[in-house]
């Protein structure tokens, strides 16, 4: 599981996200939050956060803060006063009471220089008269920024100001957004909403699209200059609709390769008073007139989306949802804060799937059935779920876009503490209704504010990938926190994490004796398996055995070879991470053979399993090969090589030559003058009766001779000589490397002389 069902914002510690606090009381930091794209061109996404009540240029002049993304990590709390141009910068409103930063957004790349830009809305600026409102575009740059930038300094080279043409428009709300590339010229465009405008009727509302351009901008841009070539105005349908209350890029919802727009009119009454409507305007390469009436949408140039409920205020918030159902076409999310099936003002949101099959002129949200979209119900009365909505990017790293929904009045950690809800995208489909109360960590999760009256979730947004780990992150505004004084406000970045990854089961191999059950501890099978999420792994089943039978018995797996079987057997096991992830691996079992030689001179080859070989009489040559073999030479002069594995070799009578091979072997010469070579591994050598020669090479391991003495000798390989050795207690040591070559049981090695050694 990637995320717990509930995350507390108080738990952010720098590893999973961090908090940003307003600088001074009543700044209201977090009123609007957004990804800034990559404004400094370093390849890592950045953030923009507004504080519209900040007073750096006079009371309520407002400020916005750009925080640069970084792969160097973040502390649990980011001090915005530390912004110095290298880690971000502050943008200050022009005049007192402008409330700069009422809305902030990435603008895409509006000047076509390859670097993302910003747009900042001011709800109360008076550039063209009382409350006419202005917006400011700040160009991104790979050149350094100062610690602060005064929006009054924008001169066309570093950005520009956009002014309303109508004074006294009373623009108490001025949403701004990047529009994608709506005219298909390869340069991003902008959209600004003015919901109180009256170009068609009183308070019908208007929105303005400004086309991006590589030809530069003057220091100011007046909306009255829009003529279709540089942008156009979109006018609301009816009086008091408040069209332009919310605006956003819609991504490419009709799959024609050109970005589209969505505009909210929450007071529209097409389905009853204040039911609300949204308007999707398709992008086009065929050009636009200077004005566009939203009433002209006919399905070919866009369509209207009507809310379900009276007083639901559908389109109070809206956003592109990315591609939440993984069909390759962008989708939409629309918030209706005052609607909801879960009692008064629980709120709900609607997801509308994009389609290449076309749309009618109107689309009713009540028709959503899971195939064309779905409804998301808020949890509890008065939560106001859907107050803010946004695409979240791909926060769980599964390759499918996700959603975030704010419910600023939720009470999960106190009155009006606020919560935000992440809903994971999926290719498995959705039912017609999704309950936010059903989020369990696998289909999404809830993020709870820190304290009562914080209003966490008032603003939510995807943050891009601010920490450069390849997974998208989130930002949540809580403008009523008081960490730096009353209503200083805070914002919270929550890092994305990869979705639960399947564990990795790796194949294993073992050796077994013929007609003998093999017991394998489960822990031994798990030892080479892994899980990138750190989940506890277990084996839940064993199956598909060949050459025998297999059972899972508590902490062991027991494999029993078929009677008389020798050779390669196998079975599979299922590895489980406890969170829905699994994998399988194959265990190979090399089953040995019981072999008895004759009375003559035999040449016997074992198998790759655990062999039991009795060579019998005669001068025999025995190769144990792989496996933990038990080999007896018998009478006469035998040549025995154990091969790989932990072998037990008994030479028997007469003069035998024994090689242990790789592994920790036990060699016993028996009677006769024997030669014993342990080989790689830590071997135990017993000469037995007779003049025996024990042969060693540096780097083969530390062997033990159990009965050295009398006429026995030690043979040295690998160009070792007696002068290369030193002696301490029972140990013979290679001086140059301090390697213990041999330990002599019951013999003081310091008494040895050169006569006890022979160079081979």
Domain CATH for 624: 2.150.10.10
Distance from C-alpha of 116 to C-alpha of 119, rounded to nearest angstrom: 10
Q: Looking at the structure, do residues 80 and 68 belong to the same domain, yes or no?
A: yes
Angle 8-4-528 from CA coordinates, rounded to 5° = 135
- Determine the pLDDT at residue 285: 98
- Determine the pLDDT at residue 342: 66
Q: Looking at the structure, do residues 519 and 533 belong to the same domain, yes or no?
A: yes
- Determine the pLDDT at residue 168: 47
- Determine the pLDDT at residue 149: 96
Q: Looking at the structure, do residues 274 and 205 belong to the same domain, yes or no?
A: yes
Distance from C-alpha of 467 to C-alpha of 45, rounded to nearest angstrom: 8
Asked whether residue 502 is assigned to any structural domain, the reply reads no
Q: Looking at the structure, do residues 100 and 58 belong to the same domain, yes or no?
A: yes
Q: CA nearest 464: which of 209, 105, 705, 740?
A: 105
The tokens 């709506």 sit on which residue? 182
Query: Tokens standing for 295?
Result: 């009433």
Q: Looking at the structure, do residues 583 and 620 belong to the same domain, yes or no?
A: no
- Residue 515 has a CB neighbour count (10 Å cut-off) of 15
Asked whether residue 351 is assigned to any structural domain, the reply reads yes
Asked whether residue 554 is assigned to any structural domain, the reply reads yes
Backbone φ and ψ for 743, nearest 5 degrees, come out as -115, 130
Q: CA nearest 685: which of 711, 664, 655, 699?
A: 664
Asked whether residue 214 is assigned to any structural domain, the reply reads yes
Max CA pair span of the chain? 118
Exposed / middle / buried, residue 462 (Cβ in 10 Å: 0-12, 13-18, 19+): buried
Q: Is 425 helix (H, G, I), strand (E, B) or coil?
A: coil
- Determine the pLDDT at residue 608: 94
Total domains present in the chain = 3
Range of the domain at 273: 6-494
**Which of 532, 566, 591 represents a domain boundary (last residue)?**
591
Q: Looking at the structure, do residues 142 and 271 belong to the same domain, yes or no?
A: yes
- Determine the pLDDT at residue 198: 86
Positions in the chain short of pLDDT 50: 1, 168-171
Distance from C-alpha of 230 to C-alpha of 227, rounded to nearest angstrom: 6
Q: Is 408 helix (H, G, I), strand (E, B) or coil?
A: coil
DSSP state of 729: T
The DSSP-derived string for 393-444 is E-TTSSSS-EEEEEETT--BTBTT--EEEEE---SS---SEEEGGG--SSSE
Backbone φ and ψ for 417, nearest 5 degrees, come out as -65, -35
Asked whether residue 500 is assigned to any structural domain, the reply reads no
Distance from C-alpha of 630 to C-alpha of 620, rounded to nearest angstrom: 15
- Residue 26 has a CB neighbour count (10 Å cut-off) of 17
- Determine the pLDDT at residue 173: 67
Q: Looking at the structure, do residues 587 and 600 belong to the same domain, yes or no?
A: no
Q: Looking at the structure, do residues 247 and 276 belong to the same domain, yes or no?
A: yes
**Which of 494, 523, 541 represents a domain boundary (last residue)?**
494
Distance from C-alpha of 89 to C-alpha of 80, rounded to nearest angstrom: 9
- Determine the pLDDT at residue 626: 94
Asked whether residue 753 is assigned to any structural domain, the reply reads yes
Element (H, E) at 464: strand 459-464
Whether 475 contacts 12, CB under 8 Å: no
Distance from C-alpha of 492 to C-alpha of 79, rounded to nearest angstrom: 12
Backbone φ and ψ for 522, nearest 5 degrees, come out as -55, -40
Query: Tokens standing for 373?
Result: 């979209």
Query: Tokens standing for 577?
Result: 């991470």
- Determine the pLDDT at residue 128: 55
Q: Looking at the structure, do residues 537 and 417 belong to the same domain, yes or no?
A: no
Distance from C-alpha of 195 to C-alpha of 388, rounded to nearest angstrom: 17
Q: Looking at the structure, do residues 534 and 680 belong to the same domain, yes or no?
A: no
Distance from C-alpha of 408 to C-alpha of 385, rounded to nearest angstrom: 7
Distance from C-alpha of 280 to C-alpha of 262, rounded to nearest angstrom: 4
Answer left, alpha or beta for residue 219, where phi above 0 means left and psi between -120 and 50 means alpha.
Answer: alpha
Measure Cα distances from 650 to 137, 197, 544, 653, 669 in Å. Answer: 88, 102, 38, 9, 6
Whether 120 contacts 151, CB under 8 Å: yes
Number of H helices and E strands in the chain, helices first, is 1, 60
Q: CA nearest 513: which of 454, 563, 587?
A: 563
**Which of 576, 591, 606 represents a domain boundary (last residue)?**
591
Distance from C-alpha of 299 to C-alpha of 290, rounded to nearest angstrom: 20
Asked whether residue 501 is assigned to any structural domain, the reply reads no
Asked whether residue 503 is assigned to any structural domain, the reply reads no
Q: Which letter, b or e, does each residue of 384-405 get, where b requires 16 or more Cβ atoms within 10 Å of its Cβ? A: bbbbbbbbbbbbbbbebbbbbb
Q: Looking at the structure, do residues 484 and 568 belong to the same domain, yes or no?
A: no
Q: Which letter, b or e, does each residue of 75-91 get, where b requires 16 or more Cβ atoms within 10 Å of its Cβ? A: eeebebeebeeebbbbb
Q: What is the CATH number of the domain that holds 402?
A: 2.130.10.130
DSSP state of 452: T
Q: Looking at the structure, do residues 487 and 514 belong to the same domain, yes or no?
A: no
Distance from C-alpha of 598 to C-alpha of 600, rounded to nearest angstrom: 5
């Amino acid at each position: 599981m990637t995320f717990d069902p509930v995350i507390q914002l108080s738990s952010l510690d720098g590893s999973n996200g961090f908090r940003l606090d307003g600088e001074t009381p009543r700044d209201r930091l977090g009123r609007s939050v957004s990804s800034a794209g990559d404004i400094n061109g370093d390849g890592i996404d950045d953030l923009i956060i507004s504080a519209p009540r900040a007073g750096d240029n006079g009371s309520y002049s407002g400020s916005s803060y750009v925080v640069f993304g970084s792969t160097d990590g973040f502390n649990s709390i980011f001090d915005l006063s530390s912004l110095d141009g290298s880690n971000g910068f502050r943008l200050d409103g022009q005049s007192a009471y402008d409330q700069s930063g009422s809305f902030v957004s990435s603008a895409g790349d509006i000047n076509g220089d390859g670097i993302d830009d910003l747009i900042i809305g001011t709800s109360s600026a008076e550039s063209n008269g009382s409350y006419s409102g202005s917006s400011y575009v700040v160009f991104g740059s790979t050149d350094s920024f100062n610690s602060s930038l005064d929006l009054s300094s924008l001169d066309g080279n570093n950005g520009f100001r956009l002014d309303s043409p109508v004074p006294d428009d009373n623009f108490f709300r001025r949403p701004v957004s990047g529009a994608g590339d709506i005219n298909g010229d390869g340069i991003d465009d902008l959209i600004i909403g003015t919901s109180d405008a009256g170009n068609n009727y009183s308070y019908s509302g208007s929105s303005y699209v400004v086309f991006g351009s590589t030809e530069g901008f003057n220091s100011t841009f007046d909306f009255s200059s829009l003529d279709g070539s540089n942008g156009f105005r979109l006018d609301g349908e009816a009086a008091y609709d408040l069209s332009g209350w919310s605006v956003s890029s819609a991504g490419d919802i009709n799959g024609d390769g050109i970005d589209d727009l969505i505009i909210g009119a929450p007071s529209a009454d097409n389905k009853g008073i204040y039911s609300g409507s949204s308007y999707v305007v398709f992008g086009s390469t065929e050009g636009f007139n200077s004005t566009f009436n939203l009433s002209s949408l006919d399905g070919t140039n866009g369509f209207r989306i009507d809310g379900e409920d009276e007083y639901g205020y559908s389109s109070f918030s809206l956003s592109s949802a990315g591609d939440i159902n993984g069909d390759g076409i962008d989708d939409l999310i629309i918030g209706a804060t005052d609607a909801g099936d879960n009692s008064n003002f629980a709120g709900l949101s609607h997801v509308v799937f994009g389609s290449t099959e076309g749309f009618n002129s109107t689309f009713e949200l009540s028709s959503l059935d899971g195939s064309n979209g779905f409804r998301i119900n808020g949890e509890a009365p008065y939560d106001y779920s859907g107050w803010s909505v946004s695409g979240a990017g791909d926060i769980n790293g599964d390759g499918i876009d996700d959603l975030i929904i704010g419910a600023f009045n939720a009470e999960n950690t106190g009155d009006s503490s606020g919560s935000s809800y992440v809903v994971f995208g999926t290719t498995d489909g959705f039912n017609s209704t999704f309950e936010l109360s059903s989020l369990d960590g696998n289909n999404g999760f809830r993020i709870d504010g820190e304290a009562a009256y914080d209003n966490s979730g008032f603003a939510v947004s995807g943050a891009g990938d601010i920490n450069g780990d390849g997974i998208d992150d989130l930002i949540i505004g809580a403008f009523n926190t008081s960490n730096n004084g009353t209503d200083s406000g805070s914002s919270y970045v929550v890092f994305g994490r990869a979705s639960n990854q399947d564990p990795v089961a790796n194949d294993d191999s073992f050796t077994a004796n013929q007609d003998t059950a093999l017991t394998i501890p489960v822990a031994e099978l798990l030892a080479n398996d892994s899980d990138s999420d750190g989940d506890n792994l277990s084996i839940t089943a064993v199956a598909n055995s060949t050459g025998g039978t297999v059972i899972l018995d508590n902490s062991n797996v027991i494999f029993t070879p078929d009677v008389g079987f020798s050779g390669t057997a196998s079975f599979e096991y299922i590895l489980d991470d406890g969170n829905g992830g699994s994998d399988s691996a194959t265990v190979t079992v090399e089953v040995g053979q019981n072999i008895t030689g004759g009375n003559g001179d035999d040449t016997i080859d074992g198998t790759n399993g655990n062999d039991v070989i009795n060579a019998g009489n005669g001068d025999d040559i025995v190769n144990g090969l792989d496996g933990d073999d038990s080999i007896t030479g018998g009478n006469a002069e035998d040549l025995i090589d154990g091969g790989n594995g932990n072998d037990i070799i008994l030479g028997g009578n007469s003069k035998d030559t024994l090689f242990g091979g790789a592994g920790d072997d036990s060699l016993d010469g028996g009677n006769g003058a024997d030669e014993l070579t342990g080989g790689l591994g830590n071997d135990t050598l017993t000469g037995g009766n007779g003049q025996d020669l024990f042969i060693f090479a540096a780097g083969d391991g530390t062997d033990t001779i159990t009965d050295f003495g009398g006429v026995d000798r030690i043979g040295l390989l690998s160009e070792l000589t007696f002068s290369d050795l030193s002696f301490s207690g029972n140990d013979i040591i290679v001086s140059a490397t301090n390697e213990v070559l041999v330990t002599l049981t019951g013999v003081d090695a310091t008494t040895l002389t050169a006569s006890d050694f022979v160079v081979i």
